[in-house]
Amino acid sequence: MFNTRVKIKTLLAQEPQNLEVTVMGWVRTFRNNQFIALNDGSTGNNLQVVAELGKFDEELLKRITTGASLKIKGTVVPSLGKGQKMDLVAQSIEVLGDSDAEKFPLQPKKHSLEFLREIAHLRFRTNTFSAVFRVRHTLAFAVHKFFNEKGFVYLHTPIITASDAEGAGEMFRVTTLPFDNPPRNEDGSINYKEDFFGRATNLTVSGQLEGELGAMAFSDIYTFGPTFRAENSNTTRHLAEFWMIEPEMAFHDLEDNMNLAEEFIKYIIKHAIDNNKEDLEFLAQRLADEEKQLPQDKRSEMGLMEKLEFVLNNNFERITYTEAIDILINSPAYKKKKFQYDVKWGIDMQSEHERYLVEKHFKKPVIVTNYPKDIKAFYMRQNEDGKTVAAMDILAPGIGEIVGGSQREERLEKLEERMMQMHIPAAELWWYLDTRRFGSVPHAGFGLGFERMVQFVTGMGNIRDVIAFPRTPKSAEF
């Protein structure tokens, strides 16, 4: 029976004693025809298995190669060697799955992250990616734990939608119509009445609009699901398919929204530190080793663990967009023309501007509020100045924007007026406008890109390395 096995993490947490156990896992290395480093994914640490010389058949030993899976029964004893407190002295070894040593691409050596992306189906077996995805799991669990403890209702919003929450238009179409000869109207446009849903539909870019409907009944809801953007963007910060956490809260204003977002970020980071310390320390060392190859001025001022503790122990700086622009214009970087993109009131700040504010000026996370209405979505509450909206972005060291949110426009006339200005068809969003007709209340919410959060906590430089199978332009492998 397989369920009698002991996980390596559980075993390594115990004191070594003459205990008989069964373990199963994959071979990382096999040295001197005697020492097997076995890993089952429950921890980044390997269990050293000792196959006593002369005890096992030569043909069996030849099959113990990197990547092979084994079932081993043996006795746990204190280790005589350095680097581990226990050994498992094997009594029996069974090969569950062979691995051709000549063809297995993960040999016991350092591989580049670019190479590992090409074999994403196997990269979980490396130390780096096993650590990253254990941390990702912990962060996802912490998301649900945080909102559950606060009494939020978890709402599953649709993945297929007929609305574009952002008004961006960069969406993936969902259709059953034939591509080569779709039915057309008299004017030549595609006749979507013949399609599965009887209208044009897309993959969702956000669950926010539907989330607001839930907040108007439950007060506090959150969504946590996949979202899709058809942006042809080949950067270290963008994916075509990613996961979003979107809480929506009735009876909340912009300040309530900022307070919740800051508390939320600190909570999930602390949960990861408390539950994945070994993984994070390994990733911190990996990052430190990587940064040694960089020029001094490109290196981070803090190590990964220091950065995470710093976020936990400091209040986020809060400034308005106007104050942020003033800081940038008066900065040495701007005066010395070190920014690639220009700075003036009204721009949508670029990553280099956001990172300057966080990493050079304040040296801690920053919440920027009250952005120009012309660069923000239609649903954000208009401020009394007529120029700005009650929006807020949270900027984090290393990656820039990590959270975007706002107080929502609860006044029907103001919302309809803004939709008309932005050419958003009110008739198609009648259901959304109903929330303003029947018991509207001040409410707010935000979206956190989960992969960017995982990037921040793990120190990984490329967003493609924190999601199992990245979807990017011209790439949908696995």
Residue at a domain's end among 60, 85, 109: 109
Is 87 within a domain? yes
Are 355 and 372 spatial neighbours (Cβ–Cβ below 8 Å)? Answer: no
Q: Is residue 176 part of a domain?
A: no
Gap between the Cα atoms of 191 and 178, Å rounded: 12
Number of domains within the chain = 2
Is a pLDDT exceeding 80 seen at residue 247?
Answer: yes
pLDDT in tens, 163-206: 765 555 589 999 999 999 999 999 989 999 999 999 999 999 99
Structure confidence at residue 237 (pLDDT): 76
Write the CA distances from 25 to 40, 97, 154, 307, integer angstroms: 4, 10, 36, 34
Kindly tell me if the per-residue pLDDT of 15 is higher than 60. Answer: yes
DSSP string, 41-58: SSSSSPEEEE--TTTS-H
Residue with tokens 């009876």: 251
Examine residue 200 and state whether it is found in any structural domain, yes or no. no
Residue 283 shares a structural domain with residue 371: yes
Same structural domain, 389 and 419: yes
Question: Which CATH number does the domain housing residue 19 bear?
Answer: 2.40.50.140
- With contact defined as beta carbons under 8 Å apart, do 248 and 216 qualify? no
| In a shared domain, residues 18 and 158 | no
Q: Which two tokens stand for residue 21?
A: 């156990």
Contacts of 294 (CB under 8 A, 6+ apart): none
Residue 38 lies in a domain: yes
Instruction: Answer yes or no: is pLDDT of 109 > 80.
Output: yes
Give the number of other CB atoms < 10 A from CB of residue 234.
10
Q: Is 65 found in the same domain as 132?
A: no
**Contact call for residues 371 and 322 (beta carbons, < 8 A):** no
List b or e across 110-136, with b for residues whose CB sees 16 or more CB atoms inside 10 angstroms.
Answer: eeebeebbeebeebebbbbbbbbbbbb
Last residue of a domain, one of 82, 109, 136: 109
User: Are residue 236 and residue 88 in the same domain, yes or no?
Assistant: no
Interval 46-65: pLDDT, tens: 999 999 999 999 999 999 99
63-106 tens-digit pLDDT: 999 999 999 999 999 988 777 899 999 999 999 999 998 999 99
Is 195 a member of any domain? no
Task: Look up the pTM and report it.
Answer: 0.93
Based on the fold, state whether residues 139 and 97 are members of the same structural domain: no
Give 220-253 as a DSSP string: EEEEEEEEE------STT--SEEEEEEEEEET--
Is residue 138, in this structure, part of any structural domain at all?
yes
pLDDT number for residue 300:
78
What pLDDT, on the 0 to 100 scale, is given for residue 334? 92
Sheet strands side by side (includes 241-250): 153-154, 220-228, 241-250, 443-449, 400-408, 388-396, 366-372, 317-320
Cβ–Cβ < 8 Å for 40, 58? no
Do 137 and 60 sit in the same domain of this protein? no
Quick one: 130 and 56 in the same domain?
no
Q: Is 105 within the bounds of a domain?
A: yes
Q: What is the rounded distance in angstroms from the CA atom of residue 20 to the CA atom of residue 406?
A: 58
CATH number, domain with residue 307: 3.30.930.10
Are 289 and 321 contained in the same domain? yes
Same domain, 88 and 217: no
Q: Is residue 379 part of a domain?
A: yes
The residue from 109, 140, 155 where one domain ends is 109
- Together in a domain, 162 and 241: yes
Q: Are 226 and 159 in contact (CB under 8 A)?
A: yes
Query: Which range of residues forms the domain containing residue 132?
Result: 125-170+205-465
**In terms of domains, do 55 and 165 share one?**
no
